[in-house]
Amino acid sequence: MDGALFPRERAVVAPGAVHVPDWLSPPLQRRLLEACREWAKPPAGLRVVRLPGGGVMTARQVCLGWHWYPYGYARTVVDGDGAPVKAFPGWLAELGREAVAAVGFDAGPDYDIALINFYGEGAHMGMHRDSDEKDDAPVVSFSLGDTCTFRFGNAETRGQPYTDVELASGDLFVFGGAARFAYHGVVRTRPGTAPPGLGLDGRLNVTLRVSGY
């Protein structure tokens, strides 16, 4: 990270959960951002996610491969415009394999789901588990744009113990094994902290998962 007082180090946040700062090079961050801009376009583009309780998620979302809705997966945007979900590209599956290898996990089956969340000012994500997939392959997370405080907890409760991690543009976070079903969330983003050269106001997070379908 430019201007960091100390270099940010790779960290095992919990058994099975690894944070690798600056894993995506600036050119790769730009490529992923450009792809996200295409994926965000309709049909099956960026949408507001409505929760069964009547609330909405403050992060807006677009999916690839399989469409996630609260709480399951479908091949079409069943809670939006009804269009077929966009294809999951081979290069993204390859990036997922490389990311998993970089932290020393088994790659397992091919990644076939991407959830892309856009956080504008004030957006956040409550503590939850990624538990709608039928496969327990590690979740791979890439961050672009503004830095956020990411809270990574435990598999039992939404509360303590948890660890707060600053995820900056280009960071990789992988959670698998004992950490695969741990609660996690985004406490806040820090507007204006994106790398000036990237050209993104806000934060994007791309998680790759294996559906098991």
Ligand X SMILES: O=C(O)CCC(=O)C(=O)O
Sites of contact with ligand X (CB under 6 A): 115, 117, 125, 130, 141, 150, 167, 184, 186, 205, 207
Tokens matching residue 21: 């700062």
Residue 169: contacted member of ligand X, Fe ion, none (CB under 5 to 8 Å, by partner type): none
Q: Which residues are annotated as a binding site for Fe cation?
A: 128, 130, 184
Q: Which is nearer to Fe ion, 176 or 195 (CB)?
A: 176
Shortest distance (Å) from residue 25 CB to ligand X: 20
Q: Which is nearer to ligand X, 86 or 184 (CB)?
A: 184
Q: H-helix or E-strand containing 117?
A: strand 113-119
Touching Fe ion, residues 129-168 (CB under 5 A): 130
Q: Which is nearer to Fe ion, 147 or 205 (CB)?
A: 205
Q: Which is nearer to ligand X, 169 or 205 (CB)?
A: 205
Shortest distance (Å) from residue 207 CB to ligand X: 5
Question: What are phi and psi for residue 168, nearest 5 degrees?
Answer: -110, 170
Shortest distance (Å) from residue 130 CB to Fe ion: 4
Shortest distance (Å) from residue 95 CB to ligand X: 16
Which residues have a Cβ under 8 Å from the Cβ of 28 and sit 6 or more positions away? 170
Q: Which is nearer to Fe ion, 39 or 150 (CB)?
A: 150
Touching Fe ion, residues 112-131 (CB under 5 A): 130
Sort 119 into a burial class: Cβ within 10 Å, 0-12 / 13-18 / 19+.
buried
Q: Which residue has its beta carbon closest to ligand X?
A: 205
For 5-69, the DSSP string reads: SS----EEEETTEEEETT-S-HHHHHHHHHHHHHHTSSSS-SBPPBPTTS-B-SSEEEEESSEEE
Sort 82 into a burial class: Cβ within 10 Å, 0-12 / 13-18 / 19+.
exposed
CB 174 within 8 A of CB 140: yes
CB 173 within 8 A of CB 150: yes
Shortest distance (Å) from residue 110 CB to ligand X: 19
Q: Which residues are annotated as a binding site?
A: 128, 130, 184
Residue 186: contacted member of ligand X, Fe ion, none (CB under 5 to 8 Å, by partner type): ligand X
Footprint of Fe ion on this chain (CB under 5 A)? 130
